[in-house]
Structure 1
Amino acid sequence: MSRRVVRQSKFRHVFGQPVKADQAYEDIRVSKVTWDSSFCTVNPKFLAIIVESSGGGAILALPLSKTGRVDKNYPLVVGHTGPVLDIDWCPHNDNILASGSEDCTAMVWQIPDYTPVRPLTEPIVTLEGHSKRVGIVSWHPTARNILLTAGSDNLIIIWNVGTGEPLLSMDDHPDLIYNVSWNRNGSLFCTTCKDKKVRVIDPRKREVIATNFEEPIALQEMDTSNGVLLPLYDCDTNIVYLCGKGDSSIRYFEITDEPPYVHYLSTYSSKEPQRGMGFMPKRGLDVSKCEIARLYKLHERKCEPIQMTVPRKSDLFQDDLYPDTAGPEPALEAEDWLEGKDSDPVLISLRDGYVPAKNRELKVVKKNILDSRPAPRRSMSSCDGTFAPQQVMFEKLVEEIQNLKATVQSQEKRICDLENKLSKFTNGTA
């Protein structure tokens, strides 16, 4: 009698579970723009969501701790003059956010650790080079300040946001670019296009090195809607999560080196369809609960975190679930990468958990030499020849003033109490 062999995998029993209701983010007007990006990006400090707003595009950038109902007057990021189409947190600075818009520009923002007192309207730098809407923004995984943008002009531009200058541009696509994804060390990237071709591109050689592979390594039937699939891949566990826009399920698969390569694990299902999905970097997870992934599901009016967990009884750190993972330090400077150097991510251990660093300001060191016109969206600091956002500086001053006022008020109360005690002693009543 034959015996069925069950494939051994530590991820066979991974299960998804939404957080408690009070740990979700409520009363958010998620954007209704018909675009195929995720509309949501997250890191260990912030959650950013593209939202509805009058008079142009808007982004809600919330500290992760601000769960529950979001105040309708919470200050938004509102510098774009057209709807925002894509957003991405910088992997090397948790306070830096990139955005692309229908106004044909990409912008880079410094999000403060404290709650702003008014909307953020001044980006650190505005990247102008596309002739049509910018639908994709994607940071380089290992090089500092390198950002890729792709527009409906079928053009890809790679920027050094530290100088505000374009480094490379490519026009290899005859039709609309649907998606772009860097490889692990940022030496290559892959694109999907409306012409139904997949391209692997070496940007520094400006070459398409592969187009449409001969045979897929695996085929998987997907019982899903006609909406776009958002694939979220975790290279530490080799698990890919497939989230369909307009679908209410998240299917996840393990990828291995041996045939049949792709192994179905399970499906997380809920009643409401998703408008978009954010994916937390590994350093933002709760390792004490054996959480191996956290997805941020967008509904029409809220964002719901979903925790993917491996059931384990031990409270000890699980080395096999958490190999050293990509940390926040870049492995290369922009100039090194442009000259042809490659480097894998700088890894960190999660054994003792991860504590995000405090706000580090990104400086733009010189004006875009290709733009002879004044740049109204950039502001120049009077010292060091650097550029700094006046909005952030203003709000820091406001915060300092508020702290000083609170200190003065507490000292005034203490002085008043001491005077009253002194008065009692001198009057002989004490």
Structure 2
Amino acid sequence: MPPSSQPCHGVWQIPDYVPVRNMTEPVVTLEGHSKRVGILTWHPTARNVLLSAGGDNLVILWNVGTGEMLLRLDEVHTDLIYNACWNRNGSLLVTTCKDKHVRVIDPRKQQVVAEKSKPHQGARPVRAIFMADGKIFTTGFSRMSERQLALWDLKSFEEPIALQEMDTSNGVLLPFYDPDSSIVYLCGKGDSSIRYFEITDEPPYVHYLSTYSSKEPQRGMGFMPKRGLDVSKCEIARFFKLHERKCEPIAMTVPRKSDLFQDDLYPDTPGPEPALEADEWLSGKDAEPVLISLRDGYVPAKNRELKVVRKNVLDSRPPRSGETEPSSFPGLWARAPGPPGASRASPGALPAARGPWRDTAVACDGLRGVGCRMGP
């Protein structure tokens, strides 16, 4: 769970048990933004890859498992980033910006592969998300401040394949997408209703289904992953509605008389296990999400604690004058042989260092350094 209130943001692990004391230290702290971070989203298929975007107009990709910055997109956006969303396999990224552009980005090549200026003519913020088939769904405002939704095909990004006007409310529409049922839920900030639409491959492409209404307006909205739903009650979506002093769960269910598992409502859905490691994805490899069945309900695996492994700074330290790297001990630097009579290091030991390294002690396991204590 990465909080996003400061340029320096931390990743926190919520345990399966009830902790006996307050959690005050994050698992890892990520430093790279110069202004407040407002967007955080996990990669859909690669392990521990996290995207962050802030008020400094930067998009940064992190390897949370090592605490490293993988990629930095600093020349793509010219203004404040409104939202960012991965496609299904995490090969592309769609963003909306205050400069009224929707950009489809290949983050590994650090280039924009498709771009649309003013997808909605209004001046209010635009949101964009990827569909499972690669289409893009956007919400925005018209010139007359009417709220709109649109569906776009990247093969012909000039005009939308579907465009609908909804109402004249001022609240920005926040889209939530369920790829298993092809349903988009629209939650307007400050609204007291949730509208949902089905996305199909045939005209008119976007079909209105129904509206959930309540008495109190929502200040924010969260969306439960599919594996957290109650399949015995035919629950297809669950929202967490933020009020002033509470968080209210809202369940969307399909009425069925049978108590049996409904295969049409619950196809295999993406599970928590990654399909790729961070290094594999960064090298250019793509993979579809690893799917799981919800027939017997989702049971989380044990020992899923995040372990951060930081690289040893000694592994990448360049040799100093008069030093060579021992071939049998990569990462440990030894002094080159001195004049006749000078003492030499025995195998498996590091010669005594001078200067700023004088208080360095390294324990060896026969292959490389396994621990060190740095002095001044």
For residue 258 of structure 2, what is the aligned residue in structure 1? Answer: 314
For residue 211 of structure 1, what is the aligned residue in structure 2? Answer: 115
Offset at residue 111 of structure 1 (A)? 1.6
CA deviations 1:29-73 (Å, max 9, x no partner) are: xxxxxxxxxxxxxxxxxxxxxxxxxxxxxxxxxxxxxxxxxxxxx
Say if 2:100 is the partner of 1:156.
no
Superposed, 1:21-420 pairs within 5 Å as: 97-101=1-5, 103-171=6-74, 172-212=76-116, 213-223=157-167, 225-366=169-310
Write the letter of the residue equivalent to 1:333: E
CA deviations 1:60-93 (Å, max 9, x no partner) are: xxxxxxxxxxxxxxxxxxxxxxxxxxxxxxxxxx
SS at match of 1:99: coil
Report 1 or 2 for greater relative contact order, CA contacts < 8 Å, sequence distance ≥ 6: 1
Number of residues paired by the alignment?
276
SS at match of 2:196: strand
| C-alpha separation in 1, matches of 2:68 and 2:281 | 15
Q: Quick check: 1:157–1:166 contact (8 Å CA) kept in 2?
A: yes
SS at match of 1:98: coil
SS at match of 1:220: strand
Offset at residue 359 of structure 1 (A)? 4.8
Offset at residue 147 of structure 1 (A)? 0.4
| C-alpha separation in 1, matches of 2:112 and 2:258 | 48
SS at match of 2:227: helix
SS at match of 1:335: helix
RMSD: 1.8
Identical residues among aligned pairs (%):
80
Which segments of 5 or more consecutive residues in structure 2 lack a partner in the other structure?
Answer: 117-156, 318-368, 372-376
| Alignment CA distance shift 1:325-1:224 (3 Å) | farther
Q: What is the TM-score normalised by the length of structure 2?
A: 0.71
SS at match of 1:343: coil
Q: Quick check: 1:135–1:152 contact (8 Å CA) kept in 2?
A: yes
Offset at residue 295 of structure 1 (A)? 0.9
| C-alpha separation in 2, matches of 1:98 and 1:183 | 21
Structure 1 runs (4+) deviating above 3 angstroms are none
Which stretch of structure 1 is more off in the superposition, 207-216 or 196-205?
207-216
SS at match of 1:100: coil
| C-alpha separation in 2, matches of 1:361 and 1:188 | 28
Offset at residue 170 of structure 1 (A)? 0.6
Offset at residue 256 of structure 1 (A)? 0.2
